[in-house]
Amino acid sequence: MLLAIDVGNTHTVVGLFEATELVADWRISTSPAQTIDELAVVYRVLLDGAGRSLSGLEGMAVSSVVPSLTAEYRSVGERWCGKEPLIIDHRAVPYLPVKNHDPASVGADRLVNAVAAIETYGTPVVVVDLGTATTLDVIDAGGAYAGGVIAPGIATSANALFQKGARLARVEIVKPERVVGRSTEESIQAGVFLGAVGAVDTLVDLVREEMGFPAGVPVVATGGLASALASASRTITQVDETLTLRGIRVIWERARG
């Protein structure tokens, strides 16, 4: 069994693979201060609930954008599997050309998404990851990571609005029934949600134009809000909620030779 772990700034997504099959997956809160022992408790509970145990793990692969947790997961993997886990960075994907000026600066999650998107959808392809940040990852026709876009995520933007607006109460960010809100709540939902949709669609249009992509290039959305936003988007062609976990598995399999 492989434990594939994507450590994000807000949530950590975990997948348990038996060969190529994803048999269980979870989304838990990321806590940068967690210790090895605390992580062990969390994962024992998750695996027990799936009828599995830590002793059955063959390996662990980790994509992390939280440096304080990367070292903890390295130690956890050594304790559980008896060997160092695969910690993914640009060196783990030598078969993926990275055109950024500094390949080491590209987040592990973005490399993982690129590998999974190429494997599943071919090239060229654009990945829209809707998390703490909204990112676009662009893979060109030759299969190289061409670069991308980083913008504030939907929840991040909404939280900034609530913090700065003294009279604006927190509301659930969902797809609104109308653009012109008839209450403060409806107005915030329209502005934040539809504003995010408009931003993604505009950025995808600009990427297509700049890269010379054909109109039918796959635009794959992943992340916590992917399904909701895709339902209102005119450019997203596919929702793939397990894209990142599958990418981690592919990289792990290739690293094993």
**CA atoms of 182 and 64, how far apart (whole Å):** 42
**What percentage of the chain reaches a pLDDT higher than 90?**
63
Domains of the chain (ranges, CATH numbers): 2-87 (3.30.420.40), 97-246 (3.30.420.40)
What sign does the CA torsion over 128, 247, 48, 79 have?
negative
The pTM (predicted TM-score) of the whole model is 0.91
pLDDT digits (tens, 9 = 90+) for 210-251: 999 998 999 999 988 899 999 999 999 999 999 999 999 999
Helix 108-121 to helix 243-255 angle (10° resolution) is: 90
Assign 155 a pLDDT band (cuts: 50, 70, 90). confident
Of the ranges 54-63, 179-188, 195-204, which is most confident?
195-204
Burial of 25 (0-12, 13-18, 19+ CB in 10 A): middle
Which H helix or E strand runs over 7? strand 2-7
pLDDT of residue 165: 60
**pLDDT higher than threshold 90 for residue 179:** yes
pLDDT of residue 40: 86
**Which residues does the annotation mark as catalytic?**
109
**What percentage of the chain reaches a pLDDT higher than 70?**
97
